[in-house]
Amino acid sequence: MGWRGSMERPLPPPNLLLQPPETAVWLGSPHPFDLHEVYLNFRAPRWLWDGMGRVTLWITADSRYKLWLNGNFVQRGPARSYPWAQKVDEVDITDGLNVGENQLAVQVYQPGYSHFSGVHRAAAGVLAWLECGGKVGLVTNGRWRVQRALSFAEDVPRVSIYGSGVEKRDWRQVEEWQTAVYDDSHWSAARVVDAANGAIWSGLQRREMPMMTERLALLEPIAYRCGDFVGEGHEGVKVGWETAVSQLPVKKDGEWLALAPNYQAHYWLFDLGRAYTCQGVVAIEGASGGEQIAISYADKAVAGELVISDPATYCRVQLTDFFTLRPGSQTVESFALRGGRYLLFQVAGGDRELKLRFQARVAETSGVFKTFKVFETGDNLLDKVVAMCENTMRACVQDSFVDCVWRESSQWVGDALVQGLTLTAMSGDMRPIRTVLLDAAQGIYPDGLLPSVAPAEVHAYTIPRYSCMWVELLAHYWRETADSDFLTYLWPTLQRVLAAIQAHPHETGLLVHPPGRRFYIDWSATAQSDPHLVYNLHVVLALQMAAELAEKFEPEMVAVWQGRADGLREICRERFGRNGRFYDDLAHTTCSQLGAAMALLTGAAARDEVDNLLGEITTCSLGEDGGMVLASPFMHHYIFEALGENDRSQTIIDIIKHRWGQWVEQRCPTTWENWSIDFPDGSQCHAFSAHPRYHLAKIFK
């Protein structure tokens, strides 16, 4: 089944597994400890092409790369992955080749630490090989040259608790090193770090997700402000913008903008219309050298005022990159793609001769939506909700599902359940679903729980309920595809997950969260103590779904898993049920919509209790006081599932109109993280709230 051993992580599936050329090796910098916030420039030896046949480049890096061919930018990557299941990008470079000499150039970034989309292995490197007509034409080896990119500062903060480093770059040290005419004789020979399938990076697998497509869009400012330069860093940009005075933009030569006189700092604000994976780009003419550019990214505006994050709050968001200009003309952009709806540019130290043209590089994984299913309900409000959900889904697919593109860009396994359901309704492309199922399995913990963010090392945020949601997504994938090979491959993972979520019994016979794992039920005021109704019934639901799958893949486990589900469900009725209601904790302190929905979905509710529970759920969602704790937008997925299974389609429609309709009325282009996002880093574009697109498609099919 592609496993190294019963307690180890699975190897990549056979259809994705790659065998690199024996001569290809991982390359790094001359100094093995150039690892902290380091950018490395690599140049291949020039190589000849005779103009015959298609040429394919296979390339990967730890942790991120940008690729140029003959001085022209080609793409960035690789797809996020664990080092023991390293993903490799495939690109046809034929159309960018010259007959004769050609030059490949690669820039690699290594933060030097793990974060929410990468696992650090105390090494940085690049691996690549070329194929033409079934023959290998070029590999990464000791003939490549390397130099550390000294234009990037290494003493920089992280963009948030989720991501890697802010960029601070001195354009006076930037060279045009990607071209064939550049002389790299003073560079060092690249150091061999590891074999292609060695001890550091192994299990090489083909990237399944399509590459993101990038386009440049010219920007028109929605606001221009001027003021004093109040300080360095993200906080300086924040205070400077908030204290600057509004001016009319100064136009110069068509698309170009200039600076109003007699001010130290200038700010231009741009609105992309909705959140995108993006990157601010500014072309400059007339720089004296030494001027400072800052590019900041924001998610929302409140009452017409831009909300710039405060890094002193919990998420520590400071999504601002900094650049020092060289004399003359140049185009400035970051190495990394960022994300958000609003772009704020600051220029400090410029004079009246400076001209600027602002653009945004917008990136989307459009390949996932090639088979997009047009969907209309015939109801004006519902169709606007559908469009809002579709906008959100389009925004939140990169090289995997991501929760939001602004502060995180993380692949949460629980979020991916509703994203996968919604994407199935929108396009039917199963690659993102396979990706998250596989990524989570390849990060399985020794105790059998799955990571809640994958691929990553985010131990503090390991949520046991998300392992249950992985089981739900696996069952959905099977229903949609009947892909026996993939289910067989992941079956050992399923077995371990089911054992893990049952491994911590309470004296009552209920289950509690494992020590150190995150107690997360919902973004709501539900009880926060173990044993919890929702967690226990979610385990019941996972066991029930696994028993259904076992009818095909392991018949002898059907009775075992169904029996365990029945037993735990009965204890839940005894301990949490009273007078036709289900309470969240043993003290019966709260009664939540989510708990009631899980009782309905698992069959814990008796027949004579169903109508009353459905009525209370409905009353709560429609804003009437019924004594229940309101579920978040995310967990309303289970509310809708429970209503749908009990033929309450009109109720689902009423709730969507009432709850999601309020965002439509506010002209929001995307779905929010929660009903209220007045906390500092609350997001107005969060994918787990876009599931009405799925539920409406079921109703109107």
H helices, E strands: number in the chain = 14, 31
Higher pLDDT pick, 87 / 626: 87
**221-234: average pLDDT:** 96
Residue 128 φ then ψ, to 5°: -155, 155
**53-70: average pLDDT:** 98
Residue-level pLDDT at 55:
97
Answer yes or no: do 460 and 531 share one domain.
Answer: yes
Q: Which residues contact 44 (CB under 8 A, 6 or more apart)?
A: 103, 104, 105, 106, 128, 138, 140, 143, 144
Answer yes or no: do 383 and 278 share one domain.
Answer: no
Structural domain contains residue 329: yes
Structural domain contains residue 1: no
Q: Can you list the alpha helix ranges (DSSP code H) found in 219-340? A: 233-243
**632-651: average pLDDT:** 98
CA atoms within 13 A on the CB side of 677: 18
Instruction: Compute the distance between CA of residue 144 and CA of residue 202 in angstroms, rounded to an integer.
Output: 22
Question: What does 42-89 look like in DSSP terms, one character per residue?
Answer: EEPPPEEE-S-S-EEEEEEEESEEEEEETTEEEEEE-----GGG-EEE
**455-476: average pLDDT:** 97
**352-359: average pLDDT:** 93
How many other C-beta atoms lie within 10 A of the C-beta of residue 54?
A: 12
Q: What six digits make up the tokens of 179?
A: 């071209």
Q: At what angle do helices 692-699 and 649-659 cross, to 10 degrees?
A: 150
Q: What is the largest CA-CA distance in the chain?
A: 82
End-of-domain residue from the set 186, 207, 228: 207
N-terminal to C-terminal alpha carbon distance within the chain: 37
**389-398: average pLDDT:** 98
End-of-domain residue from the set 331, 363, 395: 363
Lowest mean pLDDT of 373-382, 423-432, 671-680, name the range.
Answer: 671-680
Instruction: Compute the distance between CA of residue 209 and CA of residue 363 in angstroms, rounded to an integer.
Output: 14
Query: Mind listing the pLDDT tens digit for each residue in 553-572?
Result: 999 999 999 999 999 999 99
Structural domain contains residue 89: yes
Answer yes or no: do 394 and 431 share one domain.
Answer: yes
Residue-level pLDDT at 1:
44
Q: Which residues contact 597 (CB under 8 A, 6 or more apart)?
A: 617, 631, 638, 639, 641, 642
Structural domain contains residue 659: yes
Q: What is the CATH number of the domain that holds 144?
A: 2.60.120.260
Structural domain contains residue 14: no
Query: Mind listing the pLDDT tens digit for each residue in 175-193?
Result: 999 999 999 999 999 999 9
pTM of the full structure: 0.96
Instruction: Compute the distance between CA of residue 411 and CA of residue 450 in angstroms, rounded to an integer.
Output: 13
Instruction: Compute the distance between CA of residue 473 and CA of residue 246 in angstroms, rounded to an integer.
Output: 50
Answer yes or no: do 322 and 399 share one domain.
Answer: no
Query: How many domains would you assign to the chain?
Result: 3
Instruction: Compute the distance between CA of residue 290 and CA of residue 293 in angstroms, rounded to an integer.
Output: 10
Answer yes or no: do 278 and 383 share one domain.
Answer: no
Residue 654 φ then ψ, to 5°: -60, -40
Instruction: Compute the distance between CA of residue 643 and CA of residue 641 in angstroms, rounded to an integer.
Output: 5
The identity of residue 465, as a single letter, is R
Please name the residue that has the structure tokens 């690549």. Answer: 128
Instruction: Compute the distance between CA of residue 490 and CA of residue 486 in angstroms, rounded to an integer.
Output: 6
* pLDDT over 70 (residue 2): no
Residue-level pLDDT at 265:
96
End-of-domain residue from the set 164, 183, 207: 207
Cβ distance 606 to 598 under 8 Å? no
Cβ distance 331 to 282 under 8 Å? yes
Answer yes or no: do 418 and 387 share one domain.
Answer: yes
Residue-level pLDDT at 249:
94
Instruction: Compute the distance between CA of residue 487 and CA of residue 91 in angstroms, rounded to an integer.
Output: 29
Q: Can you list the alpha helix ranges (DSSP code H) found in 513-626? A: 533-553, 558-576, 593-602, 607-621
479: closest CA among 438, 421, 531, 524? 421
Instruction: Compute the distance between CA of residue 536 and CA of residue 632 in angstroms, rounded to an integer.
Output: 19
pLDDT band at 9 (very low <50, low <70, confident <90, very high): confident
Q: What is the CATH number of the domain that holds 616?
A: 1.50.10.10
53: closest CA among 129, 130, 133, 139? 133
CA atoms within 13 A on the CB side of 290: 3
Answer yes or no: do 514 and 640 share one domain.
Answer: yes
Q: Which residues contact 533 (CB under 8 A, 6 or more apart)?
A: 572, 576, 582, 583, 584, 585, 592, 595, 598, 599
**467-495: average pLDDT:** 98
* pLDDT over 80 (residue 5): no
Average pLDDT score over the chain: 96
**626-655: average pLDDT:** 97
Q: Which residues contact 591 (CB under 8 A, 6 or more apart)?
A: 581, 582, 583, 584, 627, 628, 629
How many residues would you count in the chain?
701
Cβ distance 38 to 154 under 8 Å? yes
Answer yes or no: do 444 and 512 share one domain.
Answer: yes
Answer yes or no: do 185 and 316 share one domain.
Answer: no
Query: Mind listing the pLDDT tens digit for each residue in 301-312?
Result: 999 999 999 999
Q: What six digits make up the tokens of 599?
A: 């009782």
Paired residues of 139 in beta bridges: 129
Structural domain contains residue 402: yes
* pLDDT over 80 (residue 79): yes
Instruction: Compute the distance between CA of residue 296 and CA of residue 303 in angstroms, rounded to an integer.
Output: 20
* pLDDT over 60 (residue 6): no
- Distance set, CA 9 to CA 194, 439, 443, 472 (Å): 21, 11, 7, 20
Residue-level pLDDT at 678:
87
Torsion, CA 294, CA 300, CA 305, CA 309, rounded to 10: -50
Structural domain contains residue 630: yes
Answer yes or no: do 573 and 665 share one domain.
Answer: yes
Please name the residue that has the structure tokens 């199935």. Answer: 424
Instruction: Compute the distance between CA of residue 581 and CA of residue 500 in angstroms, rounded to an integer.
Output: 29
3-state SS assignment for residue 569: helix
Answer yes or no: do 142 and 287 share one domain.
Answer: no
Share of the chain above pLDDT 70, in %: 99
Q: Is the dihedral of CA 174, 178, 184, 190 positive or negative?
A: positive
Answer yes or no: do 377 and 520 share one domain.
Answer: yes
Cβ distance 642 to 614 under 8 Å? yes
Domain of residue 91, residue span:
25-149+175-207
pLDDT band at 624 (very low <50, low <70, confident <90, very high): confident
Query: Mind listing the pLDDT tens digit for each residue in 661-672?
Result: 999 999 999 999
Instruction: Compute the distance between CA of residue 314 and CA of residue 226 in angstroms, rounded to an integer.
Output: 30
Instruction: Compute the distance between CA of residue 476 and CA of residue 691 in angstroms, rounded to an integer.
Output: 15
Residue 582: alpha-carbon gap to chain centroid: 35
Residue-level pLDDT at 352:
76
Structural domain contains residue 162: no
